[in-house]
Amino acid sequence: MNIEVEGKQRHFAAIWVEGKEVRMIDQRKLPEKLDIFTARNSEDIAFSIKNMVIRGAPAIGVAAAYGLSMAKANGEDMELAMKRISETRPTAYDLFKAISFMKKNEFLESAARRYGMEITGRCKKIGEIGNELIRDNSRILTHCNAGALAVVDWGTALAPMRIAHNAGKKITVFVDETRPRLQGARLTAWELAQEGIEHYIIADNAAGYFMRNGDVDLVIVGADRIASNGDFANKIGTYEKAVLAKENGIPFYVAAPGSTFDFSLPNGDLIPIEERGEEEVLEFAGNRFTPELSRSRNPAFDVTPSKYVSGFITEYGIFQPSGLKSLRSMMEKDIFMNS
């Protein structure tokens, strides 16, 4: 991704290996400060994933891959390292795909680098394919952050927007703020600003207003896990956006690489949903603004039924939920997906 540093544009990945360490943009500090978090062992990697130093399903997978190769190089107990990392965030399927990939490839650093490069390249392909859905002057709604920060580069939902913008298309992006951690307002808006893409941050409960008024042409979101029938988990609030899009006749697309599809699950009811700490809802910037006697529930994700999905934008093409058997067949022939 392009980031302005001291008045100059520089290219950054969300996560990379430097010597014997893994470094990543600390997403907790954005947009106020560009800070780099350094991980030196599997405990640091687990901390970074659990505490959302790095987040987004594909990026979580890459962090896990790098972390396990580093653990191997450090002589750590690999069973303990895998357990530690696997217990961080249960919903994101890429995490478990990456662990499986690294185990099959003996936790080699070369395998981790390959995993990162594959995911990045596949997400760029998602952008190229998804660009065909975007017309000049399109107005696009997105939820949470599915940009370069959530992958390594390019993004999933934001990748088609980047490709469209680079191709000279004029687009406008409506960015849901995405309570309670504000990944849309803090991260997606920051990425779009760095790329010079016109956008508006809107309150989560304003999306219906803009849809009903005819201000949104299509919706593109990412995903953390997709079941065999096309039900998918994404950041809490996605389900509401999908229902609103259907009600208003607006196409609703999900952008995700093959590594996010969990064909072992027949439907979304079986997707494990992470519930995070109450403080994320009860506090803002570390300060409590709610009654002391009040408690909260804080599911990090919800599940959207496949009937609301117009299509899945993948590196293999665009598939309707009814066509996921074809996607599965293509993935079964993909050496990377089976290694």
Q: What is the mean pLDDT of residues 187-205?
A: 97
Q: How confident is the model at residue 135 (pLDDT cuts 50, 70, 90)?
A: very high
In three-state secondary structure terms, 218 is strand
| Class in CATH terms, 2-121 | mainly alpha
How far is C-alpha 250 from the chain's CA centre?
22
Among candidate residues 176, 224, 231, 262, the one labeled active-site is 224
Q: What is the mean pLDDT of residues 204-223?
A: 98
pLDDT at 54: 98
Pick the CATH number of 125-338 from 3.40.109.10, 3.40.50.10470, 3.10.129.10, 3.30.1280.10: 3.40.50.10470
Q: How confident is the model at residue 7 (pLDDT cuts 50, 70, 90)?
A: confident
Please indicate whether residue 269 is annotated as part of the active site: no
- Annotated domain spans of the chain: 2-121, 125-338
Same fold, 2-121 and 125-338: no
pLDDT at 6 over 80: no
pLDDT at 132: 97
b/e map of 297-332 (b: 16 or more CB within 10 Å)?
Answer: ebebbbbbbbebbbbbbbbbebbebeebeebeebbe
Q: How confident is the model at residue 114 (pLDDT cuts 50, 70, 90)?
A: very high
Q: What is the mean pLDDT of residues 135-144?
A: 98
More confident of the two residues 150 and 2 = 150
φ/ψ of 196, rounded to 5, equals 75, 30
With contact defined as beta carbons under 8 Å apart, do 79 and 87 qualify? no
pLDDT at 285 over 90: no
pLDDT at 189: 98
| pLDDT tens per residue across span 42-72 | 999 999 999 999 999 999 999 999 999 999 9
Q: Spell out the residues 6+ positions from residue 32 whose beta carbon is closer than 8 angstroms to its own.
A: none
Q: What is the pTM of this model?
A: 0.96
Q: What is the mean pLDDT of residues 209-218?
A: 98
